[in-house]
Structure 1
Amino acid sequence: MKRRSGVLWAVLIAVLAVIVFVYRDRIHFDWKNFGEQLRHIQGGHAVAGIALIYATYWLRSVRWSVMVEPTKKVKASALIGPQFIGFTAVALFGRLADLTRPYLVARKIGLPLSSQVAVYTLERMFDLGAAAVIFSTALAFMPKNMPHQQVFMRAGLWSLAFTLFIALFAIAVRVAGGVVAGFAKAVLNPLSENAAQSIADKIIGFREGLNALKSWRELIVVTVISLLMWGMIASAYVQTAHAFVQTPELANLSFSRAMLLMAASIGGSLLQLPIVGWFTQIAVTAAAMHTFYGAPIEAATACGALLLVVTFLCIIPAGLIFAQVEQVSLSRIAAESEEAGKEADAVQDASPMP
């Protein structure tokens, strides 16, 4: 993990250095105004946003317990620690620590890591689908007199199409996962054998996760939890923007208009590097607020920084406390989870594809 992280660090720092050098004469940023924006944040909105985000971590624990219920009954309260610790590891070490949660859950409840990676893959697909549904539904009810209404509506249509694709893909994988994985591997193999194998493995993992949902009740419960959770996440974005009472473009931001900000934030978090990723996340969300809402760049940057704290970094204190309670070293568990994931992939590679 250290070697990969080091390479990513070096590449990103080089790219940032080039960008700063090229645009050094075009960047006009009022640091005094930026500080004023941060000093006049309305704390109640920020606290409300953090409370919503913490509630979503509890919902993640409930959803995970429902997903493993056909195999083993586990109380949601037993899974809160792995959720907090896992997301803290991602916040500190980047996306390379993504497998920390399934690794900790597997170790805690005594199930194979492969089974929990399958649950993790299924969780991610439900996250994508729920976020797309919330996004497209909110945009569908956007008033026609809103600025950039055509842009928002076009984004909503693309989101609806993406949601439909996810649904059809899930049905195809549930019915014939091995065939879908084999087809994806055959198509991608000429480009990259490693990437083709990785995609095929993820499809098989997704199918195993879908097969874990044995009844319609479980499917409906997981779907409802996912929609509720992403509705709360979107509300946290709105609350964070409303904390900037001196900037009307943010203080009056509607739920519908906040959807493009959430989409930009999700896109910016896909490649989350340790520490440096925090600043790229702020830059992406600030650019979105400045472009779509016309917010001054200083206010947009301050809001981007607060969004990072509210939606991503606020879990760190709780994660560190749970790590102490459960006697877990974050750096060691992140490395162990990545190594265990590689071993699981190696076992799967050696097995014939079903």
Structure 2
Amino acid sequence: MKKRNAIFLVILIALAVTVFLNRGRIHFDWSAFMLQLRTVSLGHLAAGIALIWGTFWLRAWRWSIFISPTKKVPFTRLVGSQFIGFTAVALFGRLADLTRPYLLAKRVDLSLSSQVAVYTIERMFDLAAAAIIFSTAMAVTPKGLPHHDLFVRVGLGSLVVTVAIAVFAVSVRIAGGAVAAFARTTIGRLSKPAGESFATKVLGFRDGLNTLASFQDFLLVLAISLTMWGMIGGAYYETAHAFVRTPELAGLTFSRTMLLMAASIGGGLLTLPIIGWFTQIAAMAAAMQAFYGAPIEAATACGALLLVVTMLSIVPVGLIFAQIEQVSLKPAAIEHEAIAGVDAAE
């Protein structure tokens, strides 16, 4: 922990020095920024938050389907752990992402390794569903809109990634052991620990796929995943439309909003505590300037509220559930190190 805190401090100092050295090149109107925040549509923001909160019920429903062959658990018992787990990510960074399988394993009294396997398959469904929605939205972007060719190319690229994921999933489902052995051999030539780690994750993914008892369960999980990511996209759409004084944002179509969602996901892949909030805002503001031509003040304000809607709005609910379920959040978040060790050892 001390080493990690030192790294965070170095990054923070580097950011401060960068801002100081470039202070003369930065032209930012703080009064315009505050005006954007004061005049947002609260109705659109409330709709965005409601959509995000709704996804956690869908996540709980999907998780209950994954574990149903082993144990029948009402999905309502799993909602709190979903909120608590993502609250840990919001407060402690992406390193705390594995808090959820730890909490859910304790909640339903199943082994930690089984819930890590469920987490693996959950993430693959998330990636596939997001790619399907993104590629479809990009492919139907009207030709008259700016950057149309770029949108189509990005959409087609995303579709290729989706097909690759599907092929990989089918291969693992049919011959997971052979795929893991191949990965262990090929990647192991470069790094034996990396080869073992990747092979372990492949086997975990196979185990996760095996949790789907029938093709009907697969279709239901896919439908839930698509609905959930459609709602997440809707939250981005509603937040952008909350900026009624900025036509570049208030007039965005759902398909064009997908680029903003992609930038947000990319900026949040390596989220660090607190510092990650600002890097994510910067990534989204840059995307809004580049793709939509939004003023920097409006883009930054929108990026800040997107962080609030999609991440920080979860925190109060997560803290309430932590009290109800008697979970100490920080010790639970620290468990990601133990989880990572268990996952690597199996």
Into which bin does the TM-score normalised by the smaller protein fall? over 0.9
What amino acid maps onto 2:341 in structure 1?
A: K
TM-score normalised by the chain length of structure 1: 0.94
Residue aligning to 2:233: 234
Indicate the larger mover: 273-282 or 8-17.
8-17
Quick one: distance in 2 between partners of 1:222 and 1:81?
20
Superposed CA offset, 1:62-114 (max 9, x none): 00001111111010000001101000001000111111111111111111000
| Aligned: 1:290 with 2:289 | yes
Residue aligning to 1:262: 261
Q: Following superposition of structure 1 onto structure 2, how do residues 186-265 of structure 1 map, counting pairs within 5 Å?
A: 186-265=185-264
Residue aligning to 2:58: 59
Quick one: distance in 1 between partners of 2:255 and 2:3?
38
| Aligned: 1:154 with 2:135 | no
Residue aligning to 1:114: 113
What amino acid maps onto 1:202 in structure 2?
A: K
What amino acid maps onto 1:105 in structure 2?
A: L
Measured after TM superposition, the shift of residue 15 of structure 1 is 4.1
Residue aligning to 2:93: 94
Measured after TM superposition, the shift of residue 5 of structure 1 is 3.2
Q: Following superposition of structure 1 onto structure 2, how do residues 1-354 of structure 1 map, counting pairs within 5 Å?
A: 2-3=1-2, 5-346=4-345, 348=346
Measured after TM superposition, the shift of residue 189 of structure 1 is 2.8
Q: Is the 8 A contact 2:66 2:118 kept in 1?
A: yes
Q: Match of 2:327, SS? A: coil
Quick one: distance in 2 between partners of 1:48 and 1:335?
33
What is the alpha-carbon root mean square deviation over aligned residues? 1.4
TM-score normalised by the chain length of structure 2: 0.97
Superposed CA offset, 1:281-326 (max 9, x none): 1000000001000000000000000000001111100000011111
**Identity level (%):** 62
Q: Is the 8 A contact 2:120 2:204 kept in 1?
A: yes
Unaligned stretches of 5+ residues in structure 1:
349-354
Quick one: distance in 2 between partners of 1:27 and 1:259?
28
Q: Is the 8 A contact 1:8 1:273 kept in 2?
A: no
Indicate the larger mover: 238-247 or 21-30.
21-30
Q: Match of 2:280, SS? A: helix
Measured after TM superposition, the shift of residue 197 of structure 1 is 2.6
Quick one: distance in 2 between partners of 1:76 and 1:344?
25
Superposed CA offset, 1:206-260 (max 9, x none): 1110011120011000000000000010010000000000000000110010011
Measured after TM superposition, the shift of residue 11 of structure 1 is 4.6
Measured after TM superposition, the shift of residue 18 of structure 1 is 5.0
What amino acid maps onto 1:82 in structure 2?
A: S
Superposed CA offset, 1:138-182 (max 9, x none): 111111000000110110010000000100010111111122222
What amino acid maps onto 1:50 in structure 2?
A: I
Q: 1:263 to 1:344 in 2, by over 3 A?
A: closer
Measured after TM superposition, the shift of residue 3 of structure 1 is 3.9
Quick one: distance in 2 between partners of 1:176 and 1:23?
54
What amino acid maps onto 1:345 in structure 2?
A: A
Residue aligning to 1:351: none
Q: Is the 8 A contact 1:282 1:305 kept in 2?
A: yes
Quick one: distance in 2 between partners of 1:337 and 1:146?
44
Q: Is the 8 A contact 2:113 2:342 kept in 1?
A: no
Measured after TM superposition, the shift of residue 21 of structure 1 is 4.6
Quick one: distance in 2 between partners of 1:146 and 1:111?
51
Q: 1:4 to 1:93 in 2, by over 3 A?
A: farther
Quick one: distance in 2 between partners of 1:142 and 1:319?
37
Q: Is the 8 A contact 1:5 1:273 kept in 2?
A: no
Quick one: distance in 1 between partners of 2:220 and 2:167?
20
Q: Is the 8 A contact 1:100 1:338 kept in 2?
A: no
Unaligned stretches of 5+ residues in structure 2:
none
What amino acid maps onto 1:281 in structure 2?
A: Q
Q: Match of 2:130, SS? A: helix
Measured after TM superposition, the shift of residue 200 of structure 1 is 1.9
Q: Is the 8 A contact 2:135 2:158 kept in 1?
A: yes
Quick one: distance in 1 between partners of 2:189 and 2:35?
54
The count of aligned residue pairs is 346
